[in-house]
Amino acid sequence: MAQLNSFDITSTIDLQEVDNGLNQARKEVGQRYDFKGARADIDYDRAESTITLVADDNMKIEALWEIVQTRLIRRNVPVKNFKAGDIQHAGGSTVRRVITLQQGIPTEAAKEIVKFLKDKKLKKVQAAIMADQVRVSAPAKDELQEAMGLLRAHDFGVALQFGNYR
């Protein structure tokens, strides 16, 4: 029987890079003229995988989120894996927004990836969900390369990384 080749699809975030990007964002907020004298806080809870933004009004919280996204993108952190919550009113006439970090591929997205590969009808390509990742296997490496290309071209709502290619 022919040997099966495979690769894993994961979706991870380097938490140290997130921390570094948020430190850069805090530094930029401290230097920006439009935030002088205004409240603008960025809190990162690594254990809960959340970022909490607090600002004076909706306009400032949107600007704060843009600064955070810019700094994370510059550090090659996939911002697709950040789910921004609604803006809520907080005490002291401030507003708050909680952003959650998505580590791993959610079950719905994994099912969508498996269905997507089956619908493409690639020869002998099999996809299996394994916890928070998806393993794709096939007898020929060319078929795996084609599957990777199709997956890169489609948007599943999370950033995909391909690894463990053998």
Please give the Cα distance from 99 to 14 (Å, whole number).
16
Count the Cβ atoms, other than its own, within 10 Å of residue 102. 20
Annotated domain spans of the chain: 5-12+104-163, 15-101
**Residue 118: what pLDDT?**
85
pLDDT > 90? residue 69: yes
Chain segment 101-158, per-residue pLDDT in tens: 988 888 888 888 888 888 878 778 888 888 888 888 888 888 888 888 888 888 888 8
pLDDT > 80? residue 165: no
**Residue 5: what pLDDT?**
83
**Residue 2: what pLDDT?**
58
**Residue 71: what pLDDT?**
94
Mean pLDDT score of the chain, rounded to an integer? 87
Please give the Cα distance from 24 to 10 (Å, whole number).
27
**Residue 1: what pLDDT?**
47
Q: What percent of the chain has pLDDT over 90?
A: 27
More confident residue, 8 or 122: 8
More confident residue, 166 or 96: 96
Give every CB contact of residue 156 below 8 A, 6+ residues apart in sequence: 109, 112, 113, 116
Question: Helix (H, G, I), strand (E, B), or coil: what is residue 54?
Answer: strand
Q: What percent of the chain has pLDDT over 70?
A: 99
Structurally, what CATH architecture does the domain formed by 15-101 represent? 2-Layer Sandwich (3.30)
Q: What predicted TM-score, i.e. pTM, was given to this entire model?
A: 0.81
Chain segment 71-91, per-residue pLDDT in tens: 999 999 888 889 988 888 888
Structurally, what CATH architecture does the domain formed by 5-12+104-163 represent? 2-Layer Sandwich (3.30)
